[in-house]
């Protein structure tokens, strides 16, 4: 118990460190001193200091904060989906959430006139929630929602929506959706103060709900029957968890596209550090996810001399081998 408290404190410090690193790195060289001045209103004046202030405050800080929110939300959403499906291999995208979001965003990009940046995230969000609801309703039986049917329906709906995505990308008029393709790969480049402000309440509310329900999430690991007999209203708990986790994943997809592997791997790492008790696991996964995604974004921005990589490529490239390592270390049991 005591140990987990200090682990969470260390993870918090790591997240702050990652934000600091992110503020200090980028194509334009800004001395660390000027970064600090920009943040805390230092005394330095002059054009270089003003440029530095603009870069740090209006470009790098929103991007770092966006990384923090997106990484944290994906990870806590992953924790919730894994408890809901009693499967440590589940991730926030498993039930068609991502494909739904992508279809929503592409529809907006194709149908709406002009560059239509603002409705795009909202439509992605709508698509995610819609896909998640369809899957949930299809998986419902009189006796309740079974995990097996949820996964089966999620896979089927996801496959159908993925086919739609390919169709839309293939049939789109040239030049109509260049941003969308990049967005499909996962990208934090849309980090503006406004977006951070829009995302913040969703992520805060979703994570808070999961924290409040942490004891119920613990019980869900026992399976439906035992959880029910220990006093958990299982069907209600499943519905709330499902909606919350889909909202978290959906709102994040809306802003940053499909960033894979974070929601799958970070919960594993966090469990190794603090165990499966969700009261500690949810905050630990949030902080670890935030740190991981900010660092991945730093790599994505600096590794290629010709420009930025999509951060989703970095998370997948580093995530897949790490996941294999986890699988092998535990003798096939994640």
Residues near other proteins (CB under 8 A):
82, 86-88, 212, 214-216, 218-219, 221-223, 225-226, 228-233, 271-272, 275-277, 279, 333
Nearer to other proteins, 55 or 227 (CB): 227
Query: How far apart are CB 276 and other proteins at their closest, in Å?
Result: 4
Rounded Cα distance between 202 and 68, Å, is 14
We find the least distance from the C-beta atom of residue 327 to other proteins, in angstroms, to be: 13
Residue 136 beta carbon to other proteins: minimum distance, rounded to whole angstroms:
21
Q: Which is nearer to other proteins, 12 or 275 (CB)?
A: 275
Separation in Å, CA 282 to CA 248, 268, 289? 13, 12, 10
- In the complex with other proteins, the residue whose CB is nearer, 13 or 208, is 208
Question: Kindly report the CA angle at 93 between 69 and 246, in degrees rounded to 5?
Answer: 65
Name which of 218 and 308 has its Cβ closer to other proteins. 218
Residue keyed to tokens 């040239």: 174
Query: Phi and psi of 214, rounded to 5°?
Result: -60, -40
Q: How many CB atoms lie within 10 A of CB 222?
A: 14
For residue 46, give the DSSP letter.
S
Which residue, 115 or 225, is less far from other proteins as judged by CB? 225
- The residue behind tokens 């889909």 is 246
Judged by CB, which is closer to other proteins: 99, or 234?
234
CB of 281 to other proteins, least distance (A): 10
SS3 call for 306: coil
Q: What is the DSSP string of 82-129?
A: HHHTT-TT--TTTTSHHHHHHHHHHHHHHHSSS---SHHHHHHHHHHH
Instruction: Supply the minimum distance, in Å, between the C-beta of residue 238 and other proteins.
Output: 13
* Shortest Cβ 137–other proteins spacing (Å): 23
State both tokens at 147: 């995990």
In the chain, how long is the greatest CA-to-CA distance? Answer: 70
Q: Which helix (H) or strand (E) holds 279?
A: helix 278-302
SS3 35: helix
Residue nearer to other proteins on the CB measure, 195 or 238:
238
Q: Residue 205 CB: number of other CB atoms within 10 A?
A: 14
In angstroms, what is the minimal distance from the CB of 221 to other proteins? 5
Closer to other proteins by Cβ: residue 59 or 221 = 221
Q: How far apart are CA 67 and CA 293, in angstroms?
A: 6
Minimum CB separation from other proteins for residue 233, in Å? 5
With vertex at residue 294, the alpha carbon angle to CA 104 and CA 2, rounded to the nearest 5 degrees, is 115
């Amino acid at each position: 118990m005591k140990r987990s408290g200090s682990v969470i404190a260390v993870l918090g410090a790591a997240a702050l460190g990652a934000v600091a690193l992110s503020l200090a790195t980028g194509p334009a060289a800004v001395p660390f001193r000027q970064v600090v001045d920009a943040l805390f209103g230092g005394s330095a004046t002059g054009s270089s200091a003003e440029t530095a202030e603009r870069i740090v405050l209006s470009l790098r800080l929103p991007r770092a904060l966006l990384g923090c929110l997106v990484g944290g939300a994906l990870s806590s959403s992953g924790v919730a989906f894994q408890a809901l499906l009693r499967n440590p291999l589940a991730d926030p995208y498993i039930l068609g959430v991502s494909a739904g979001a992508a279809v929503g965003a592409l529809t907006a990009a194709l149908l709406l006139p002009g560059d239509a940046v603002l409705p795009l995230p909202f439509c992605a969000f709508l698509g995610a929630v819609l896909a998640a609801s369809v899957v949930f309703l299809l998986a419902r039986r009189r006796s309740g929602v079974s995990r097996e049917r949820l996964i089966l329906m999620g896979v089927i709906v996801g496959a159908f929506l993925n086919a739609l995505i390919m169709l839309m990308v293939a049939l789109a008029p040239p030049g109509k959706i260049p941003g969308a393709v990049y967005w499909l790969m996962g990208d934090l480049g849309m980090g503006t103060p406004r977006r951070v402000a829009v995302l913040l309440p969703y992520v805060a509310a979703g994570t808070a709900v999961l924290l409040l329900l942490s004891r119920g999430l613990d019980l869900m690991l026992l399976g439906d029957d035992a959880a029910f007999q220990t006093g958990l209203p299982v069907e209600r708990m499943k519905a709330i968890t499902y909606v919350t986790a889909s909202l978290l994943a959906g709102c994040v997809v809306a802003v940053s596209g499909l960033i894979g592997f974070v929601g799958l791997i970070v919960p594993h790492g966090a469990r190794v550090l603090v165990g499966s008790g969700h009261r500690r696991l949810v905050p630990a996964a949030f902080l670890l996810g935030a740190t991981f995604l900010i660092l991945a974004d730093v790599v994505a921005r600096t590794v290629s001399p010709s420009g930025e990589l999509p951060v989703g490529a970095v998370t997948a490239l580093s995530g897949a081998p790490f996941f294999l390592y986890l699988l092998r270390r535990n003798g096939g049991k994640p």
